[in-house]
A = this chain, B = another copy of it.
Amino acid sequence: MEKFYFELKHVCKQSGARYGILHTPHGDVETPMFMPVGTLATVKYLSPEELYEMGSQVILANTYHLWLRPGEDVVSNAGGLHKFMNYKKPMLTDSGGFQVFSMSKTRKIDEEGVHFKNHLDGSPLFLTPEKSIEIQNKLGADIIMSFDECPPYPCDYKYMKDSVERTLRWAERGKKAHQNPNQALFGIVQGGDYEDLRKLSATSLANMDFDGYSIGGTSVGEDKETMYRMIEYAIKYLPSDKPRYLMGVGSYDSIIEGVLRGVDMFDCVLPTRIARHGALMTSQGRVNIRDKKYEYDLSPLDPKCNCYTCRNYTKSYLRHLYKCDEGFGKRLLSIHNINFLLKLTKDIREAIKEDRFLDFKNEFFEKYGLNVKNPRGF
């Protein structure tokens, strides 16, 4: 079994963006990459084979959700997530920290951990850095995350400082608790929009020597300019020989802006969630498949797309499936959006390798009418 390590293969001479290879126990994958989300050990509606066909590399599953259902012992009994869900490529689990923040209305944070409520039945739950790692050890993903607090935005300085310092202590405890040398452990940089706190977080984590570093606390209500600043604050203080993962970001403009700032990994439920609601990413911009104008439209979702959906089905049929709330429609639309982002990151890698990523970015933004001040689309 190959141990986890990151190989920085090339830095784009035009932009400074990075192309690399992540070596993992389940094979090598290329960065920058987008990771589809399989919250409950399933990328909703899709088979592993469909994901492979689209060039999917790492996929993500959620520790919090799997802890509740089916429980980490059920997954462990199957030999871990890969065997449980029959996904043969690398996997990543988050720490549950973000779900504590996003899925429970009430939570009480103390030094030991977080008391909060089960979103399914309201029962009390308690998650600690050790417990999060223990669950993730049982789930058995190739890459796992430190347990962190994800403060809201905006957040006052005093609270953020206390939180960052506590999250650093939690990172230490999690690192100590981590039992499986075959699973890479990432630290999570927090600190909101405060450069000194991002610096404190990043440098302290770097000193602890994690296998990689996540940038957390984004996509929590801040505008995009602020998010890009947060990324810059964090990355400045992170070692260049380790992978950087921007958590929960999957809009195409943000992926490109993230890569430009040195990010290697992205994940987001966005492409699948909006697909299930009929919103598609295409080379012609956003398509809302429910639109009446597609009723008789026999063209594919995107004439420039080569995904299974675009090769075989018309807008007219997809609109019909959407209007009837058919599962096969959700499946076909999810395929298209995931493929769009996997293809985008593939194109990004090519552009970096050819030292033309700035040109790529400018062409893409011009084509989609995007700019940082006025990000359209997704």
Contact = CB atoms under 8 A, between A and B. Distances in A.
Interface string A286-317: 00000000011010000000000000111011
A5 to B, nearest CB: 31
Contacts of A78: 298, 314, 316-317
Nearest to A38: B328
Given A69-B323, A324-B69, A316 B74 contact: yes
A40 interface: yes
Contacts of A270: none
A47 B331 CA distance: 9
A119 interface: no
Interface in A329-377: 329-331
Contacts of A84: 314, 316-317, 320
Interface residues of A, number: 35
A182 interface: no
Contact of A41 (B47, B69, B312, B317): B317
Contacts of A41: 317, 320
A328 B48 CA distance: 11
A206 interface: no
A42 interface: yes
Contacts of A69: 320, 323-324
A298 B78 CA distance: 7
Contact of A327 (B45, B77, B314): B45
A8 interface: no
A198 to B, nearest CB: 36
Contacts of A44: 326-328
A85 interface: yes
Contact of A70 (B316, B330, B331): B316
A311 to B, nearest CB: 10
Contacts of A320: 40-41, 69-70, 74, 84
Contacts of A295: 70, 74
Contacts of A45: 45, 327-328, 331
A146 to B, nearest CB: 26
A46 B313 contact: no
B42 A326 contact: yes
Interface of A: 40-47, 69-70, 74, 77-78, 84-86, 295-296, 298, 312-314, 316-317, 319-321, 323-324, 326-331
20 contacts: A40-B320, A40-B321, A40-B324, A40-B326, A41-B317, A41-B320, A42-B328, A42-B329, A44-B326, A44-B328, A47-B331, A70-B295, A70-B316, A70-B320, A70-B323, A78-B298, A84-B314, A84-B317, A86-B317, A327-B330
